[in-house]
Amino acid sequence: MRTNLALLALPLLLTACMVGPDYVTPSTPTPAAFKETGNWKPAEPKDDTIRGPWWEIYHDHELNALESQVNISNQNVLQAEAQFREAAAAVKVARAALFPSVTANPTYTEAQGSQDLSAHSNSAGSQHVGATTIGTYNLPLEASYMVDVWGAVRRSVEANATTAQASFADLENARLSYQATLAEDYFSLRGIDAQQELLQTTVVSYQKYLDLTTNRYNSGIASKGDVAQATTQLDTTKTQLIDLGVQRAQYEHAIATLIGKPAPLFSLGPTPLTATPPKIPLAVPSVLLERRPDIAGAERRVASANASIGVATAAYYPTITLSGSTGLAAIQLSELFSGPSFFWSVGPAIAQTVFDAGKIHGQVEEARANYDSTVAAYRETALTAFQQVEDDLSGLRILKEEAEVSDEAVKAAQESLAIATNQYKAGTSDYLTVISAQAIALNDEVASVTIRTHRMTTSVLLIEALGGGWDASKIPAASNIAAAPEAQAPKAAK
């Protein structure tokens, strides 16, 4: 008995061994600073983080109300949340292999032997003896435990836990992506509202010019061609105004989908865009690696792939399984719980693959290749993040310069139109000069609104590129990710 117990205890002492490489976060090329710092360099050393809901930096109450609905109503976010819970549940499944499995299978059987065999087995050999019917009660309890000597199960738990962490980062990335898309669509819609207001004002102005030209024609001062030109200018502008309605409706429908509402049941009243981009806190590039959920997800997939190498490597070594059974068995139900009815058995089993034609070696190579692939994907994700931040920083800088020049152009165009109008009224120039000045002024004003809209949407892209105030510390620890995934996931509308 002592020998058996010693044999059973030996594998348990070996479970500290884990084959496969221990995980080390891969290095990635990281610049010391962004080239396009400009006005986004923080004024205070610690003033480099967007805190709280990032969209509140715009101080737009209507945008705040819309963004609050993305987290609980956007179906893509809810899908990502369900995928995280699925990954967290897979960790529970993997961890179960660390413990014995115990099964109970109570049975009752009633059997009768062959009468012919009973007759032949009778020592007299001449007397026919009937077979006996016997009923048996069994209450067995069986246990089986695969000793994790080489760490295959623990590596599997590690792989599943880091995959679940990556799924959580994917959830956060989806949430950030759709929140940013909503803000982009919102500012684009408000930009169209500003263009519509501009064109409506222009239509009123052009109508006055048409009235002026018509009166001059009736007085014999202007030609019929002037009236036709004024009419064409007015109708063309009306067409542009009507066409904007199509774009506005599409943005409105897109916003409805992002907040989980049917497009026919949602509408936004017109509010022309007047805001300019706020000052956005900017940290050093190395911090970006901790603030982007897509980078965090890619890094966690590297950790999962690393653990999978250990799972594949463990197949080289023998598996040790401990199994045992105990229970009660008796012919009479009244005797089932008596001492003599008790039985038990216990013993280890060792299995080793002798020949597999290189299957295990191939699986290890496959796991290593997958690890190398995830490392490359992680580094590419980081490089793309640096690119996006630089793109948006340079975009905001250039757009700001462009907006200043555009504002000057609008002022000059308006002054030119006023001069052309006065000259036309004085009879010193023809109406073609007025038409040209009107077209230039309108184009410059539309361009100014477009640049203002582009600046706002680019600022949203920059905040998204910076991670939106998220950081990797929000990823639940691998040790408790499966404990209560509902507590880690967003509260979804049912």
In tens, the pLDDT along 238-268 reads: 999 999 999 999 999 999 999 999 999 999 9
How far is the C-alpha of 86 from the C-alpha of 128, rounded, in Å?
Answer: 66
Cβ pair 240, 458 in contact under 8 A: no
Which pLDDT belongs to residue 9? Answer: 54
pLDDT per residue as tens digits for the range 434-454: 999 999 999 999 999 999 999
Cβ atoms within 10 Å, residue 29: 9
Supply the DSSP symbol for 477. P
Q: What's the pLDDT band for 270 if we cut at 50, 70, 90?
A: very high
What token pair was written down for 42?
């923080």
Say which residue the tokens 């610049």 belong to: 31
The burial class, CB within 10 Å (0-12 / 13-18 / 19+), for 166 is buried
Three-class SS state of 389: helix
What token pair was written down for 82?
């369900």
The arithmetic mean of pLDDT across residues 211-226, rounded, is 92
With b meaning 16 or more CB within 10 Å and e meaning fewer, what string describes 421-436? beebeeeebbbebbbe
Alpha helices, DSSP H, located in 103-223: 115-121, 152-218
> Could you tell me which residues come within 8 angstroms of residue 374 by beta carbon, excluding any fewer than 6 positions away?
298, 301, 302, 304, 305
Supply the DSSP symbol for 27. P
Residue 43 predicted with pLDDT over 50: no
What token pair was written down for 273?
């865009």
Cβ pair 160, 90 in contact under 8 A: yes
Which pLDDT belongs to residue 418? Answer: 96
With b meaning 16 or more CB within 10 Å and e meaning fewer, what string describes 137-161? bbbbeeeebbbbbbbbbbbbbbbbb
Which pLDDT belongs to residue 327? Answer: 78
Which pLDDT belongs to residue 411? Answer: 97
- As a CATH number, domain 18-98+148-317+357-488 is 1.20.1600.10
pLDDT per residue as tens digits for the range 451-483: 999 999 999 999 999 999 898 889 999 888 876
Supply the DSSP symbol for 104. E
What token pair was written down for 393?
């920083």
- As a CATH number, domain 102-122+129-147+319-351 is 2.20.200.10
pLDDT per residue as tens digits for the range 50-99: 767 999 999 999 999 999 999 889 999 999 999 999 999 999 999 999 89
Which pLDDT belongs to residue 49? Answer: 64
What token pair was written down for 312?
């594949």
Averaged pLDDT score across all residues of the chain = 88
Cβ pair 379, 26 in contact under 8 A: yes
How far is the C-alpha of 34 from the C-alpha of 48, rounded, in Å?
Answer: 14
Q: Supply φ then ψ for residue 492, to 5 degrees.
A: -95, 150
Domain-wise residue ranges, the chain: 18-98+148-317+357-488, 102-122+129-147+319-351
How far is the C-alpha of 204 from the C-alpha of 211, rounded, in Å?
Answer: 11
What's the pTM? Answer: 0.85
Alpha helices, DSSP H, located in 356-482: 359-426, 431-465
Q: Give strand pairing partners of 145.
A: 322
Q: What's the pLDDT band for 490 if we cut at 50, 70, 90?
A: low
CA distances, 44 to each of 40, 48, 49, 458 (Å): 11, 8, 11, 24
The arithmetic mean of pLDDT across residues 118-137, rounded, is 62
Which pLDDT belongs to residue 489? Answer: 55
Which pLDDT belongs to residue 116? Answer: 66
The arithmetic mean of pLDDT across residues 25-47, rounded, is 70
How far is the C-alpha of 351 from the C-alpha of 271, rounded, in Å?
Answer: 73
Which pLDDT belongs to residue 329? Answer: 80
Three-class SS state of 143: strand
Q: Which helix (H) or strand (E) holds 311?
A: helix 293-313
CA distances, 69 to each of 25, 31, 169, 260, 262 (Å): 36, 37, 20, 8, 13
pLDDT per residue as tens digits for the range 353-375: 899 999 999 999 999 999 999 99
Q: What's the pLDDT band for 108 if we cut at 50, 70, 90?
A: confident
More confidently predicted of 76 and 45: 76
The one-letter code for the residue type at 304 is S
What token pair was written down for 207?
């109508």
SS (H, E, C) 49-86: CCCCCHHHHHCCHHHHHHHHHHHHHCHHHHHHHHHHHH
More confidently predicted of 121 and 336: 336
How far is the C-alpha of 327 from the C-alpha of 337, rounded, in Å?
Answer: 10
The burial class, CB within 10 Å (0-12 / 13-18 / 19+), for 192 is buried
The arithmetic mean of pLDDT across residues 171-184, rounded, is 96
The arithmetic mean of pLDDT across residues 195-218, rounded, is 95
Which pLDDT belongs to residue 27? Answer: 93
Q: Which of 7-16, 316-325, 475-484 has the lowest mean pLDDT?
A: 7-16
Residue 12 predicted with pLDDT over 60: no
Cβ pair 152, 120 in contact under 8 A: no
